[in-house]
């Protein structure tokens, strides 16, 4: 349940400030559950929402939503086996080919993701792949940059939800496809760093079908009284394990039919 609460409003505000400061000053912090063991999943989403309000009050604009931990590779890598969601913003929006300073982050990693743009709003509960498909305008390939605000990139589910699912940036590129033009399950992806193959996968790694992630996002949002709005960009979650990046690294993700997306870290 995403709406079960154990903390009061003051504690939620304190934790949002803690996460926000860690991000702004690139100072890793301890998992939130160390000081607040009574925290529940509803509190974690409340902290995420308070973080969103703090960011918006500084003029940062929310540009979309993201699912996380939707593939077995990611669940195994992070030791968290439940899919969760967060938001993405214009602060972390980069263009294809961008040079991204690693100094903006604590310990950045990148992920290859299939993204979609919604034609109509999608509102749960009871969304499924068919309803998600009907609400989608087109598919676009993406790279997500994640950067946990927790020391050593180690967290539990409550801490990572409060930390907006490690969201730090994203790039969309390649070419767009209608759902009728692509088989999302067999869409292959090759993630390279400095010309070396680092990870390989296919769309089906994401909950069996990336559209399951879109349906799950709508259903999770519904539990919190929200929806996926029309026009929203949705990242469906890393297909493979995330890879570390350092200054000087060139990352190119090749998609089978969606083209490629590239960025460089400086
Ligand atoms: C949490 C965010 C996971 C994904 O695509 O699975 C995520 C993390 O691994 O830090 O964005
Ligand atoms: Mg991701």
Q: Against a cut of 0.85, is the pTM above it? A: yes
pLDDT given at position 145: 98
Domain residue limits at 112:
63-265
Q: How many helices (H) and strands (E) does the chain have?
A: 7, 13
Q: To the nearest whole percent, how much of the chain has pLDDT over 70?
A: 100
Domain of residue 235, CATH code: 3.90.850.10
Dist. CA 103 → ligand 1 center (Å): 20
* pLDDT exceeds 90 at position 208: yes
* pLDDT exceeds 90 at position 260: yes
The answer to the question of residue 196 being in a domain is yes
The answer to the question of residue 250 being in a domain is yes
Dist. CA 62 → ligand 2 center (Å): 16
pLDDT given at position 130: 98
The answer to the question of residue 92 being in a domain is yes
pLDDT given at position 19: 98
Q: What is the residue with the minimal CA distance to atom 4 of ligand 1?
A: 68
Alpha carbon distance 166, 249 (integer Å): 20
Ligand lying nearest the CA atom of residue 170: 2
pLDDT given at position 127: 98
Q: To the nearest whole percent, how much of the chain has pLDDT over 90?
A: 99
pLDDT (tens digit, 9 = 90+) per residue, 86-126? 999 999 999 999 999 999 999 999 999 999 999 999 999 99
Read off the pLDDT of each residue in 20-25 and give the average, rounded to a whole number: 98
Dist. CA 105 → ligand 1 center (Å): 15
Question: How many Cβ atoms are within 10 Å of 214's Cβ, its own excluded?
Answer: 31
| Selection from 254, 116, 130, 99 nearest residue 189 by Cα | 254
pLDDT given at position 126: 97
Read off the pLDDT of each residue in 175-194 and give the average, rounded to a whole number: 98
Q: At 223, list the tokens.
A: 């539990």
Q: What is the residue with the minimal CA distance to atom 10 of ligand 1?
A: 166
Strand locations in 104-249 (E):
109-118, 136-146, 167-172, 188-193, 196-202, 233-235, 243-244
**Atom number of ligand 1 nearest to Cα 166:** 10
Q: What is the residue with the minimal CA distance to atom 7 of ligand 1?
A: 68
pLDDT given at position 8: 97
The answer to the question of residue 53 being in a domain is no
The answer to the question of residue 14 being in a domain is no
Q: At 221, list the tokens.
A: 């949002």
Q: Where are the alpha helices (DSSP H) in the chain?
A: 9-25, 32-35, 41-57, 72-78, 129-135, 157-162, 210-223
The answer to the question of residue 82 being in a domain is yes
Pocket residues for ligand 1 (CB within 6 Å)?
66, 68-70, 74, 78, 111, 144, 146, 148, 160, 165-166, 237-238
Ligand lying nearest the CA atom of residue 164: 1
pLDDT band at 1 (very low <50, low <70, confident <90, very high): confident
Q: For the chain, what is the domain count?
A: 1
Q: Are 165 and 172 in contact, with CB atoms under 8 Å apart? A: no
Q: What is the residue with the minimal CA distance to atom 1 of ligand 1?
A: 165
Residues in the chain: 266
* pLDDT exceeds 90 at position 49: yes
Read off the pLDDT of each residue in 248-264 and give the average, rounded to a whole number: 98
Ligand 1 mutation pick, 65, 67, 68, 72, max ligand atoms within 8 A of CB: 68
Q: Mean pLDDT over all residues of the chain?
A: 98
| Selection from 166, 169, 209 nearest residue 185 by Cα | 209
The answer to the question of residue 34 being in a domain is no
The answer to the question of residue 99 being in a domain is yes
Residue with tokens 């967060």: 86
**Atom number of ligand 1 nearest to Cα 111:** 5
pLDDT given at position 34: 96
- Between the alpha carbon of residue 214 and those of residues 122, 155, 221, the distances in Å are 9, 24, 11
Q: What is the residue with the minimal CA distance to atom 9 of ligand 1?
A: 78
């Amino acid at each position: 349940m995403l709406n079960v609460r154990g903390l009061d409003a003051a504690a939620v505000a304190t934790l949002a400030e803690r996460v926000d400061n860690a991000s702004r000053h690139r100072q890793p912090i301890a998992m939130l559950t160390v000081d607040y063991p009574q925290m529940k999943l509803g509190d974690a989403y409340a902290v995420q929402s308070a973080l969103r309000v703090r960011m918006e009050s500084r003029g940062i604009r929310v540009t979309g939503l993201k699912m996380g931990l939707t593939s077995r590779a990611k669940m195994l890598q992070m030791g968290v086996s439940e899919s969760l969601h967060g938001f993405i913003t214009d602060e972390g929006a980069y263009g294809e080919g961008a040079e991204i300073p690693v100094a903006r982050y604590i310990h950045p990693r990148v992920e290859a993701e299939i993204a979609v743009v919604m034609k109509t709003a999608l509102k749960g509960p009871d969304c499924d792949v068919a309803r998600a498909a009907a609400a989608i305008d087109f598919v676009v390939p993406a790279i997500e940059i994640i950067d946990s605000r927790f020391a050593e990139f180690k967290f539990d589910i409550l801490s990572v939800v409060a930390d907006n699912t490690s969201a730090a940036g994203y790039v969309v590129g390649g070419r767009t496809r209608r759902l009728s033009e692509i088989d999302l399950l067999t869409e292959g992806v090759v993630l390279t760093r400095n010309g070396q193959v680092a990870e390989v996968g296919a769309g089906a790694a994401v909950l069996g079908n990336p559209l399951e992630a879109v349906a799950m996002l709508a259903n999770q949002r519904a539990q919190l009284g929200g929806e996926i709005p029309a026009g929203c960009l949705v990242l469906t979650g890393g297909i493979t394990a995330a890879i570390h990046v350092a200054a000087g690294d060139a990352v190119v993700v090749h998609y089978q039919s969606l083209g490629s997306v590239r960025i460089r870290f400086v």
